[in-house]
Chain A
Amino acid sequence: MARKKKRWSLSDRPVIVTGVAEGAHHEHLPYQRHHFETIAQQNDATNFAMWLFLLTEIMFFGGLFTAYLIYRNWYYPAFVSASHQLSIPLGGVNTLLLICSSFTMAMGVWSAEMKKKGALVLCLILTFILGTGFLGIKTVEYGEKIEKHHVPGIHYSLNSFLYPDSDEAARVAKDHALPLDMARHTEIYFFLYFAMTGMHALHMIIGVAILAFMIARAQAGAYTTGHVTFVENFGLYWHFVDIVWIFLFPLLYLISRH
C-alpha cells in the first residue's frame, strides 16, 4: 500500500488562520514567543498566570491567618498586652510608605505603557527607596524585640507582661499584670508576629531585589518598547505584598485600639 501524505485538516474545510493571528504571525514581534498565536494571547496568558500565582500566595498566608484567628480567640488578653509592645507610629509610617510605594509602582506601570522611559525609571527608583525604607524601619522594630527578649524561643522573657510597671510601653498602655498562665501565651502572639511580618518582609526583599534588576533593565530601555507584561505583573505582585501588610497592620498593631 502506498503511503499517502495525509493533509492536515480536521474536516474538508481548509485551515483558516484568522486575520489577527495571520498578521502577528508574519510580523512576529521580537518578544512574542513561538508557541503563542498572537501577542494578545501571550499577554493574557502571563497575566492570568500571575493572578493564579497570587492566589497560591493568598493560600500560603491563609494558613498563618487561620492560626492567628484561632489563637487570638483563645488568648485575647495576651494578644492585647503583647500588641501594646509594638510601636504604632513606626507601623503607621510603614503603612504609609507601602501605600505610597504602591502609588509609585502604579505610576511606573502607566509610564511603561505610555513609553516614557525617564518617568518609568524614576517611579521604579522611588518604589525601590520606599520599599527599602519599609525594610529599614522593620529592622529597627525587630531590633527592639530582640533587646526586650520578645523573640519566641528559649530566651523569651515574660517580664513585660507579669510586671507591666517595669516596662515603659506597658505602662503607657496602662496594662494590667497578666496571670502567669495567660502571660505565657504572649509567646504565641510574638511567634505569629514574627512569622507573618517575617514572611511579608521576605516577599518585600524579593520584590526589592527584582526592582533593582528592573531599574537596570529599564535604563537600557527594556520596558518602553510596548511590551509591558513584566512591569505589569511585577506591579501586581507589589500591590499584593502591600495588601498583605494592610491586613497585618490592624491585626497585629491595633488589636485593642478602637
Chain B
Amino acid sequence: MSTDTIVSLPDQSTARVPKVNFLSKENGLLSWLLTGDHKRIAILYLISITFFFFIGGALAGLIRLELLTPQSDLMATDTYNKVFTMHGIIMIFFFLVPSVPATLGNFFIPMMIGAKDLALPKINLLSWYLYMAAGILALYTMMTGGVDTGWTFTTPLSTHYVNTNVLTTGVAVFIAGFSSIFTGLNFIVTIHKMRAPGMTWFRLPLFVWAHYAASILMVLGTPVLAIAIVLVALERTMGIGVFDPTKGGDPILFQHLFWFYSHPAVYIMILPGMGVISETISTFSRKRVFGYTAVAFSSVAIAVFGFFVWAHHMFIMGISNYSMLVFSLLTMLVAVPSAIKIFNWAFTLYKGSITFETPMLYTFGFMGLFTIGGLTGVFLGTSGTDIHLTETYFIVAHFHFVMVGGMLMAFLAGVHFWWPKMTGRMYPEKISQLAAVVTFIGFNLTFFPQFILGTLGMPRRYASYPAEFQILNVFSTAGATILGVGYLLPVLYLTWSLKYGAIAGNNPWQATGLEWQTQSPPLTENFPEIPIMDHEAYDYEWLDGQKEKEVVIVG
C-alpha cells in the first residue's frame, strides 16, 4: 500500500474526449435501434437492465414493507404472492442473467481479444430485441393481473391450480431464454474465431474465460428450460398429462427439467461476475492474478460440475435417498472451484500494491459476501441440514448473498471500473466510495438477519409470520431501505458524470487489458489497426515498458 491511488488522468485543462468515437459516429434514434456495433448494443442493454432492476427493486421494497409487521396488512396475501413472483422473475430473467454478459461482456469481450466486433452482430442486436419483447410482455403480464406461482413455475400449481397469467409469463421467459442463448452462442463463436494474432487461449483475460464458461451454460442449459416451459404451457392449455399424476405423468419430471437449467443458471449469473473480479483485483493490486491457469480452468470446472448438481433443489420433493447422496456429494464438489477462485484472489492481494478505488471496494464486498453465500450453500447441499433449512429464509438469505452480495457487487464493480472506458469520463470518486460502503452495510443489515430467521424456522413466501420474528424482520426492512439508497446513488452520480466527470484518458487505471490501450470511448472499430498480442495477460512490467517508451517519444 505504497500509494494512495493509481489513477492517472490526462491534464484536465487541455484534455478532450476524442471527437470521433462509437457514440458520436452516428446520431439519431435509428442509428441506435439498427446498430450492429457491440458497444452500442451493450449500452442499450445497460439502460434496459437498469430499468428492469429498478422495477424488480421496487417489488422487493414492497415485499420488505409487507414483512415489517407480522400481519398481512399492506397487501392481500394473493397480491403478496404475485409481488414476490414478479420480483423473482424480473430480477432473474431480466436482470441477473443478462446483467454482466450482455452489458460489460458485450462491450469488452471483442475489445479484450482484439476484435472489431462480435462474430454475429445481427444476432447480437436480435438478442436485445428478444430481451425487450420478453421484458415488455412480462411487464404487461404484471399490469394485467400478474402471476403467483413463484419464479419456479412449480407444477401442478402452475398447471392446475392457479388462475393467473402463467402462459404469458411463460412465453416471456421462453423468449428471454432465446435472447440469452444468442448472447452465449455469439460469445463462444467470437472467443474461438475472432482472437487477434498472438492472443492465445492462455493470454486471454480471465474475464473472457469466465464468459466462455458461462456461455457454455447458456447454450446447453437454456433450451431445456424452453422445452420445460413449452410442456407446462401444453399441460395448462390442453391437459396433455405429462406432469399430471392422475394421468400417469410425474410432476417431479418438471422439477428435473426446470432445475437442469435453473441450477446452471445461477452459474450463468455468477461466473461473469467472477470474471469482473479477476480484472479489478489484478488492476488494483498491480499484480498478475495468482494462479492464472487455475482460475481459468476453475471457471470451466464450475460450468461442467454445475450441470450435475441440479437435484439438490429437490431433496424434499421425493427423490430417492441414493440420488440425494450422490447429488449432495456432487454439490460439495462444485464448492472446490469456487474456493480455488477465492483463494487465488486472496493470494493476488498478498504483497500487492493495493489501492482502494470504488471498483476495489465493491470487489472486497464481493469476496466477503460471496464467501458467506458460498459456504452457506454447503449447508444447503448437505441433505441432512437441507431438510431442516429448505423453504425457510435461510435459502432466501443464501441466494441473495450469492446473487445480490456477489453478483450485484461484481456488476457495480465492473460498471465503475469500465465506466471511463465506456463514456470517456470518470465517475466522482468520493461519493461512489460512499455508495459502495452504504451498499455493503445495507446489504448485511438486510440479509444477515434472514439467516437467523431461517434457522429459527420462518418459512419463505408467506405474507404473515409469528410475532416473535418481528425484530429481525424490522432489521431486514431497515437494511433494505439503506440498500435502496446505495443503489440509487450510482444512477445519480453516473448520469451526472456523463457531462461533468473528469476526462479519463485512455488508461486511467494503468490496467493491462487490450481494451485500455485504445482511446476512450473507443472507435466504432475498436482499434485503429488490429493489435498483435505479444505478452501475457496482466503483465504490468510490459505496461511500464510501454510508458517509458512513450516518454521517449514525447521527448
Residues of A within 8 A of B (CB): 1-4, 6-13, 15-18, 21, 33-37, 41, 44-46, 48-49, 52-53, 55-57, 59-64, 66-67, 70-71, 74-75, 152-154, 184-185, 187-188, 191-192, 194-195
Contact = CB atoms under 8 A, between A and B. Distances in A.
A152 B14 contact: no
Contacts of A7: 553
Contact of B224 (A45, A52, A60): A60
Interface in B394-415: none
30 contacts: A8-B527, A9-B531, A10-B514, A10-B517, A10-B531, A10-B532, A11-B546, A15-B530, A17-B530, A18-B197, A33-B121, A35-B119, A37-B530, A44-B193, A45-B119, A49-B123, A49-B185, A49-B186, A49-B189, A56-B185, A56-B223, A60-B227, A63-B228, A66-B257, A152-B238, A154-B239, A185-B248, A187-B241, A188-B241, A195-B242
Given A35-B116, A185-B248, A8 B240 contact: no
Given A45-B189, A56-B219, A195-B240, A184 B227 contact: no
A4 B193 contact: no
Interface in B95-149: 115-121, 123
Contacts of B193: 41, 44-45, 48
B219 A55 contact: yes
B62 interface: no
A233 to B, nearest CB: 12
Contacts of A57: 223
Given A41-B194, A60-B223, A63-B227, A191 B531 contact: no
Contacts of B533: 10
Given A13-B534, A67-B253, A195-B231, A187 B223 contact: no
B11 interface: yes
B529 interface: yes
Given A1-B11, A7-B553, A52-B188, 16 more contacts: A3-B15, A10-B546, A11-B542, A17-B530, A18-B197, A35-B115, A45-B189, A57-B223, A62-B223, A63-B227, A66-B257, A71-B248, A187-B248, A191-B234, A191-B241, A195-B240
A251 to B, nearest CB: 16
A59 B181 CA distance: 12
Given A8-B518, A188-B248, A67 B530 contact: no
Contacts of A63: 223-224, 227-228, 231, 257, 260
A154 to B, nearest CB: 6
Decide if the interface of chain B is mainly helix, strand, loop or mixed.
helix
Contacts of B194: 35-36, 41, 45
Contacts of B388: none
Interface string B217-256: 0011111101110110010001111100001111001001
B224 A35 contact: no
Nearest to B192: A48
A60 B247 contact: no
B15 A48 contact: no
B384 interface: no
Interface in B168-211: 181, 185-186, 188-190, 192-194, 197
Contact of B248 (A60, A61, A184, A194): A184
3 pairs of A and B residues whose beta carbons are closest in the complex: A63-B227, A35-B117, A60-B223
A21 B116 CA distance: 14
B248 A191 contact: no
A52 B506 contact: no
A75 B248 contact: yes
Contacts of A1: 10-11, 14
B31 to A, nearest CB: 16
A52 B253 CA distance: 26
B160 interface: no
Contacts of B14: 1, 3
B554 interface: yes
B550 A49 contact: no
B330 to A, nearest CB: 18
Contacts of B250: 70
Interface residues of B, number: 68
A194 B237 CA distance: 14
B246 to A, nearest CB: 9
Contacts of B531: 8-10, 15
A184 B246 CA distance: 9
B219 A35 contact: no
Contacts of B181: 56
B242 A2 contact: no
Contacts of B227: 60-64
Contacts of A37: 530
B240 A191 contact: yes
B554 A152 contact: no
Contacts of A70: 250, 253
Contacts of A188: 241-242, 247-249
B257 A52 contact: no
B528 interface: yes
A109 B199 CA distance: 34
B530 to A, nearest CB: 7
Given A12-B549, A64-B227, A34 B116 contact: yes
A49 B119 contact: yes
B553 A4 contact: yes
B240 A153 contact: yes
Contacts of A10: 514, 517, 531-535, 546
Nearest to A33: B121
Interface in B475-530: 506, 514, 517-518, 525, 527-530
A247 B228 CA distance: 21
Task: Indicate the member of A2, A61, A63 with the most B CB atoms within 10 Å.
Answer: A63
Given A13-B534, A63-B227, A153-B238, A8 B529 contact: yes
Task: Indicate the member of A44, A74, A154 with the most B CB atoms within 10 Å.
Answer: A44
Contacts of B249: 71, 188
A61 B231 CA distance: 12
Task: Indicate the member of A10, A34, A74, A192 with the most B CB atoms within 10 Å.
Answer: A10
A131 B10 CA distance: 64
A59 B224 contact: yes
Nearest to A53: B185
Contacts of A56: 181, 185, 219-220, 222-223
Contacts of A8: 517-518, 527-529, 531
A94 B204 CA distance: 49
Contacts of B525: 34-35
B542 to A, nearest CB: 8
Contacts of A35: 115-119, 121, 194, 525
Contacts of A12: 549
Nearest to B242: A191
B506 A6 contact: yes
B538 to A, nearest CB: 14
A150 to B, nearest CB: 12
A187 B517 contact: no
Contacts of A33: 121
A152 B188 CA distance: 40
Nearest to B225: A63
Nearest to A4: B554
Given A66-B257, A195-B234, A152 B239 contact: yes
Nearest to A12: B549
Contacts of A2: 554
